[in-house]
Structure 1
């Protein structure tokens, strides 16, 4: 198949492109930076340079490529530009979907998040509603996710990958990542908040497998939702950071997510089933 990947030079995109090429697909990767062209081409894909906020450019790019499938992995999280990230989810997704519909694309796979569910005690399944009543600043995130998922659903076959908190190379949790540095400086407090993690390679693998999945959202997270005081202590030890300060309590939505649907219904199995061993393996590989 001919596949158009938006966000081709990001943390997931760099792992996803070679997997798609190896599977025999013709791959075109979108980036807005000319300096990323070489990264995309090295993966065996063709590069297209266009800004997702430039509606005419996105229409022209997708019209020229004529893809059968679009994979939307665009974010601006590496720069921690949350305003742009919300804009990508709303305006950027609108441009990608409208351009895809204009040429008859019938399949899209899009990146979402697994911590947008409403409050509860157990890890959230896909049947739990999104947290539509959230207050600011969380409300802005939920509105962006709702817009993205609703827009993507206009394409007949639409798989929405609700990723866990990403770790591994190119993420906030790499050896020089934002969160790693915050933890080293003792600026992260350990709480009862539950997080579902996901190694970036497992995120890429899920996107490949999703080419054969039915429409709808699916949580792509590891097998073990983690309480803050537990995972943060493990991570701190792995990077030689000070023992974190512990504080009781969590927000109701900090509940983690269940991957039962992905594992049992779709046959997805994470290479990094738990953050416990995943942190150590990931950091060791990056250091070496």
Structure 2
């Protein structure tokens, strides 16, 4: 199959690329930089430097690649800006979907998130509405997710993967990354806020599997939604750092998500719980 991998040098894309190549797929992979495109080419794919906000360039790239499927793994997280990430979800996705339709692409796999649901007391499933009445700054994220998912749904066959909070090498939960810095600075609360995690390896592997899945929106999270007072001490132990004192309180949307729909498709995470996953070393 000819695959257009948008975001081939991102935290998921760079793990997904070798999986696609190992399955015999012909991959065109994008990067924001010429250096990144060169790394994609060196890995055995066709690397191209592409500005996803340049509609004409995106249209030209899709026409040249003539893919059977597009895998959308675009993010803008390096600076930790929700506005930047929302822009790539809104404008970058719009350009990618329009270019794909012009090129006659019938299938798209796209990365979304599993913590954009409205408030509730139990873990959310895919029928739970998005939190469209959220206040800022959360509204920027949720409306970006809505725009991405609505655009992707214009593709005849599409799978939206609502990933849990990513952890593992290269993520914000890696040693010396954002969350470990927050932990050591005393800025990470061990409260009642529930998260659903997903190891980065499972995220990449699932994007490959989704090429054969029926259209739909699917939570891709591990088996154990957990309050921060449960997972933060384990995270701290994995880093060799002191854990904060337990506290209380959570926002209504901090509820976690369920993976029953993915399980029904035969999916299973190789890292079923953050309890073990936090202690997994570098790949």
TM-score, normalising length: structure 1: 0.96
For 1:234 and 1:160, the matched residues in 2 are separated by: 30
For 1:73 and 1:141, the matched residues in 2 are separated by: 16
The alignment of Structure 1 onto Structure 2 pairs a total of residues equal to 283
Is residue 82–residue 140 contact of structure 2 (8 Å, CA) maintained in 1? no
- Within 5 Å, which residues of 2 pair with 1:1-288? 1-263=1-263, 265-281=264-280, 284-285=281-282
Is residue 4–residue 28 contact of structure 2 (8 Å, CA) maintained in 1? yes
Is residue 185–residue 241 contact of structure 1 (8 Å, CA) maintained in 2? no
Moved over 3 A (4+): none
Is residue 4–residue 28 contact of structure 1 (8 Å, CA) maintained in 2? yes
For 2:78 and 2:221, the matched residues in 1 are separated by: 20
Measure how far apart 1:128 and its partner are. 0.8
Q: Which runs of 5+ in 1 are unaligned?
A: none
For 1:42 and 1:226, the matched residues in 2 are separated by: 40
TM-score, normalising length: structure 2: 0.98
Residue 278 of structure 2: SS of its match in structure 1?
A: helix
Is residue 17–residue 44 contact of structure 1 (8 Å, CA) maintained in 2? no
Measure how far apart 1:40 and its partner are. 1.3
Measure how far apart 1:246 and its partner are. 2.5
Q: Deviations over 1:230-269 (max 9, x none)?
A: 1001111111212213321111110000011101x21111
